[in-house]
Structure 1
Amino acid sequence: MFKSILALPRAVWLIGLISLVNDSASEMLYPLMPLYLASVLMAGPKALGIIEGIAEATSSIFKLVSGVIVDRTKKAKPWIVLGYSLAGIGRPLIAIANSWLWVLAIRFTDRMGKGLRSSPRDALLAESVNKNQRGITFGLHRSMDNAGAVIGPLLAALFLSLGVPLRDIFLWAVVPAIVTIVLALCIKEPHKEAVPQASKFGWSLEGMPNQFKRYLVVAGIFALANSSDMFLLLRAREAGVPQADIPLLWAAISLITTLFGTPLSALSDQFGRKRFILIAWIAFAFFYIAMGLPGISMFQIFALFGIYGLFKAATEGVEKALVADMAPKGLAGTAFGWFNLVTGLMLFPASFIFGWIYEAITPLYAFLFSGGCALVAFMLMAFWVDGKMHFKPNLIKS
């Protein structure tokens, strides 16, 4: 497997490095957001749910826009550079925000940048390798992305241990932002075969396989279960995890995802995507239901977060490889755009509903809601989505 990883094209490694640096900044700030909102801006779970829901919905809409445009223009690099630039500019501005509404506006800009870069980046990755390398390619990208998510929280923990104010930590995010933009400018797009522009090209799902359309429905239902991870950190803090250890807990999840993301995604190239997704979704349902139980101990929190890390490792790269498998030739950007749109838009009601139940009723019912949605998605994925939607790429000639 190591030879296969090293043999991947330069573009795959460069995009992975960009994600690593960018996520170092993003994840340095991410676990601090609930603390910043609560201790500095005096905002509660409802505000957190609104901020994260709107931010992720914004990202999803722009993922479709950029995906369709990149299929039309056949140019991914400009959107990747623009996307990382907007995110890099937005994050440090949180340090000067004086209300949660300003944080919402800044997160909106940050997520718009993510939306503009994500589908073009994923399409570029899919087009840079053969079909039987997609699992390992997206797995490597997610592993490097999560490596940044290890470095970021460790930096946050270091800053907190040194007594650096939360506002100042947000200002430090400007350094990796500059590095990310410079690296993005170095991207060289792979040569693309000329694909005639078909009349079906557009914003609709026309021309997409029925299996892909069904998968979109199921993925949307599962996304309703997947509310903002900030609620998990909030739950851990309420369960007794010290504030200074919250970034370390988040870093541990990312470390697990980094270590297991590439090998698990590579296995999906041989044994199929669907079984990995099904196993991971069951683990997700168990994790959420267990997290909501009253009297949960710190040891149990740490063990459950380990399961959550394995869930992310088994799905993040595999889900994207599955989308690439099903996308018609020349429409990879649009396919990724629709997948990101559907799953991202559902994050708004997911975070809003979860936050409302968490604050107005009880955390137990909020976590049961997410676990229940995950179980519904599991059943539909197993018995409704056509089994032909997934194949073993190693049996298909490139």
Structure 2
Amino acid sequence: MSATTDQVQFAAYAPGRFAEHLPFAQRGYLFTLPGDFPEETPAHTNVTDWEMAVYRAHGEWEVRDINGNRKVWGIGPSRRVAVGMAFQAVARKRRYRAADIADRRAAAGLETVPPYMVEVTAGVTLVLTPQAVAHLFRIEATDFGHPARYHVTDPDGGGAYAITAGEGVELRTLEVGLLHVRCGCDPEATRFENEADALAYIREELSTWAMCENSPGAPAEADAQPDEDDDPDIMERRKERALQATWDGLTDNYERSYQDAQTAREQMTRAGVAMIGQVIRGQLPAATGMSVRAEDLALTAVHGDGDRLWAENGGELPGETVHNVNAYLTDVLTFGRDEEALTDLGWAEDEHLSGVFTIAFPPAP
């Protein structure tokens, strides 16, 4: 796609959006860099959209991606200039990547771009009953044990009505598409290296199709419509696609769940450290941070500005407060207290005491 800085939509973020140890300012703006940018790179080299952050740093504006390597992509005297520099850097990197993919394909004896592309251009889901054929536009969930209701419209222009799921009621999705063959088009499509695989996919997935008018040649007329489902090769491919789709869905769900869990853990840790800070400041108002022994989740020190306000077994902090803090630590660090987990969450290991980690409290409200 063709994207410019004038089209970027910014969303402000506030303190707490990122953990303090991450290389982002506490305040800034989030925006999305489309995965299909720049426009001239082939669609088969596109990536997912990137989430980016732009913020003030060292007297200038700085742009980093937030989900990958958190690399600096652009720096400038204004937000727009920094974002523009980031767009240029990403475009350059993606052009190099697209060229590298083309070179590797050529080295493998393949065409620079997959020559066969199947584009789905339209689709409709029908509800079939012995009495009627209707267009589905919504499925209404019902209480457990009761059949779903399909909200439909009449293909001839009649009003909306509902059909109850049951015996003799069938859902059927019909899709229409285009086959592109070395035509120069670059649609969002499923790509193939040879005609046989492209036609097999068409027979499995499309109800009807046509050739792109820019394609130099067309497959045989006999391949123009889908075959019946009695072809064992087609059935085997369909089974393989279903298994792959299931696996892809499971891995995507796992990755999203893992990211959600990581974010939730960071948020819980920040909230827990803030809560412990308030408890300690109830006795030591000048407290700015604490040290904890990870092995048994015990508070070992409370720090002020350059001073140690309390050390383990000291009298400045009542025993009940220490007991409460240790109990809170058990909850706060439930999901990881090894070195890697703690440092990821912003704790720093003591240079002289192995297994002891220190973290700063957020400013007092």
TM over 0.5: no
User: What interval of TM-score do these two structures reach, taking the shorter chain for normalisation?
Assistant: under 0.3
Which entry has the higher C-alpha Rg, 1 or 2?
2
Whichever structure has more strand as a proportion of its residues is 2
TM-score with structure 1 setting the length: 0.22
TM-score with structure 2 setting the length: 0.24
Higher RCO (Cα < 8 Å, 6 or more apart)? 1
Whichever structure has more helix as a proportion of its residues is 1
